[in-house]
Amino acid sequence: MKFQVVLFDGFDLMDAIAPFEFFAAAAILSPENIIVELVTAEGKRRVKSGVNDVEIEATGVIDPNAEGVILVPGGAGDMYGDGPNSIVTKLKKASETKLKTLLKKAAQNPTITLTTVCGGSTLIGMMGLLNGRHAVTHHMGMDALPAMGARPVHARIVDDGDLVSSGGVTSGIDIAIYTIEQKLGPKIAHYIEKVFEVERRGTVWSNKGQEPYLN
């Protein structure tokens, strides 16, 4: 099983690196053969983050055929406007690379759960991968989701089956632990919480159960 964390030019450091560390720790604790890797659409290369151009080494190319998880982070930069350093511009640029082809292929693989942190859902929305799906993103980007065909849900984590999204930056920790629980079980997830001295926040929304009865 593979846990692939996607990097692209302008990615947000915490969105990507926090889940990567949690996944790596879970892999050590699991008796299964778990591969955790930083990947790009182009393969092995150094990738600049959107904060101070910090460079991180990606070691492989996205594998859309591997069973497991692909996590897509958001971008970092100017929060307002659409200038060259804006988050929107960086996400749009990433959505027009080979990343689009690979993530579309991954989304068609029933053995892959596509997960997003913060603006990662906006990124895949730009690729047409949110059409008809329930999703969340950073609170500042929620109004943009309907135009992408998404059904916005204001929750910390939104589980829509093979697509699981999370809200703003620190929710990457919550979705990492939730993903570990779903793939490797609650015992390892609970141990990870103890090791990192963190408790998950918020309710995981999923499209199950009864609808609230509102008079």
pLDDT tens per residue, range 92-125: 999 999 999 999 999 999 999 999 999 999 999 9
Q: Tens digit of pLDDT for each residue in 26-71?
A: 999 999 999 999 999 999 999 999 989 999 999 999 999 999 999 9
The residue with greater pLDDT, 133 or 82, is 133
Q: Is the pLDDT of residue 82 over 90?
A: no
DSSP H or E stretch at residue 175: helix 171-184
The residue ranges of every structural domain in the chain are 2-116+169-206
What would the pLDDT profile of 124-181 be if each residue is shown by its tens digit? 999 999 999 999 999 999 999 999 999 999 999 999 999 999 999 899 999 999 999 9
* Active-site hit among 17, 18, 72, 118: 118
CB 39 within 8 A of CB 61: yes
Dihedral sign for Cα 180, 181, 184, 186, please: positive
CA dihedral 111→57→158→151, nearest 10 degrees, is -90
Antiparallel, parallel or unpaired: β 55-58 and 45-48: antiparallel
- CA 198 to CA 93: how far, in whole Å? 34
The architecture in CATH of the region 2-116+169-206 reads: 3-Layer(aba) Sandwich (3.40)
Res 214: pLDDT: 86
How many alpha carbons fall within 13 Å on the CB side of residue 24? Answer: 10
**Diameter over CA atoms, the chain:** 56
Distance between CA 102 and CA 114 in Å, rounded? Answer: 12
Supply the pLDDT for residue 212. Answer: 87
Grade residue 81 by pLDDT with cuts at 50, 70 and 90: confident
**Across all residues in the chain, what is the average pLDDT?**
96
118 tagged catalytic: yes
